[in-house]
Amino acid sequence: MYRINNFNAGPAALPIEVLCQAQDKFIEYGNGMSIMEMSHRSKAVEQLFEETRQIMLEMLGLNSNYSVLFMSGGASMQFAMVPLNLMSTKRIGCYVLSGSFSEKAYQEAQTLGNAKIVASSKQQNWSSLPALNAIRLEADTAYMHITTNNTIEGSQFQTFPSTGSVPLIGDMTSDLLSRKLEFNEFSMFYASAQKNLGPAGATVVVIRDDLLKECVNPIPTILNYKTYAQNHSLYNTPPVHSIFMMKLVLEWLKRQGGIAEMEKINVQKANLLYDVIDSSGGFYKGCIEKPFRSMMNITWRMVDEEVEKRFVRESECNGFDGLAGHRSVGGLRASAYNAVPYQACKALAEFMIDFQNRNG
């Protein structure tokens, strides 16, 4: 079987073991039909959703005072759902801006009510992360929103502020389950699946029940978190196959030793690439200041765009894919999510060294 080294940012690599399991169940799930053919009102799908919820909470180390909701629409829909559910004419949504997606979340909130920037690194062109220790939240703050990992730029928060009684909400789309965090410090966090959770199509929202009770705004039913909680994520037809794949990925993660073991591997993978960048004498130039680098999305530039294009072309000829940077910023990016094997990162590091030897 021919498999390339997949460094795409999302949709991204999936564990080969999971793909084989899914292939085995694709035509016949155990009840005479495919998971893709089954009614979402069936007992089998209800059981699938409940088992996925339970293993998600187990992996996160959370208990039953959190609800796990499944929906579609991606993280972009959450940019609207968060302020719709929690902001009001008298309460402010506060945002930490650390990259393009956090800015999009803020801009969406602006269209819906009172949104405020409490910290930003935009003036630094997102090359660093804003200081969080100077943030002061007003009494009328409904929540504070932070993007834990910036997929496009390649930066990642290592610590998070104490927000007191103000709910802390995290967009964890590109690093959920990749490292240990005190998840109970967040009142809510969300992630679209196509980075570390499975294929595109599903979004998971983990929300503490006391915050769920505060979702009282008169908004469309389909955009209300309570709708998903009260109907066990089955109010409308959900992306069943994507959630089935999410369950397989969670089970795979558990077999690897859980988040703690996965974090160790992820650190090793990222270090392989950062070591090449830092020892290249400037041939490869990291985009992010060292203290703020992401272990999920490693970004760098080269001497000019022509050399970068040559790097991408040659990488594709050598069995790599997805190394071009995001279209909005250019450059190079390697997304080393959970399912990207250590050997793939080792092979990329060796290719980078060889490319420099031939072009430096």
Taking a C-beta distance cutoff of 8 angstroms, is the pair 295, 156 a contact?
yes
For 298-327, b where at least 16 C-beta lie within 10 A, e where not — what string? bbbbbeeeeebeebbeebeeeebebbbbbe
Q: Give the integer Cα–Cα distance in Å for 108 and 345.
A: 36
Phi, psi of 268 (to 5 degrees): -60, -45
DSSP secondary structure, 149-178, as one string: EETTTTEE-S-----TTSPEEEE-TTTTTS
Q: Give the integer Cα–Cα distance in Å for 111 and 108.
A: 5
Does the annotation place 22 within a ligand binding site? Answer: no
Q: Give the integer Cα–Cα distance in Å for 336 and 8.
A: 8
- For 253-305, the three-class secondary structure string (H helix, E strand, C coil) is HHHCCHHHHHHHHHHHHHHHHHHHHHCCCCCCEECCCHHHECCCEEEEECCCH
Tokens 């103000």 identify what position?
166
For 73-105, b where at least 16 C-beta lie within 10 A, e where not — what string? bbbebbbbbbbbbbbbeebbbbbbbbbbbbbbb
Does the annotation place 76 within a ligand binding site? Answer: yes
Does the annotation place 89 within a ligand binding site? Answer: no
Taking a C-beta distance cutoff of 8 angstroms, is the pair 132, 153 a contact?
no
Does the annotation place 173 within a ligand binding site? Answer: no
Does the annotation place 125 within a ligand binding site? Answer: no
What does the DSSP 8-state code read for residue 123? G
Does the annotation place 237 within a ligand binding site? Answer: yes
Does the annotation place 189 within a ligand binding site? Answer: no
Does the annotation place 358 within a ligand binding site? Answer: no
Does the annotation place 236 within a ligand binding site? Answer: yes
Sequence ranges of the binding site for pyridoxal 5'-phosphate? 75-76, 101, 151, 171, 194, 236-237
Sequence ranges of the binding site for L-glutamate? 41
Sequence ranges of the binding site? 41, 75-76, 101, 151, 171, 194, 236-237
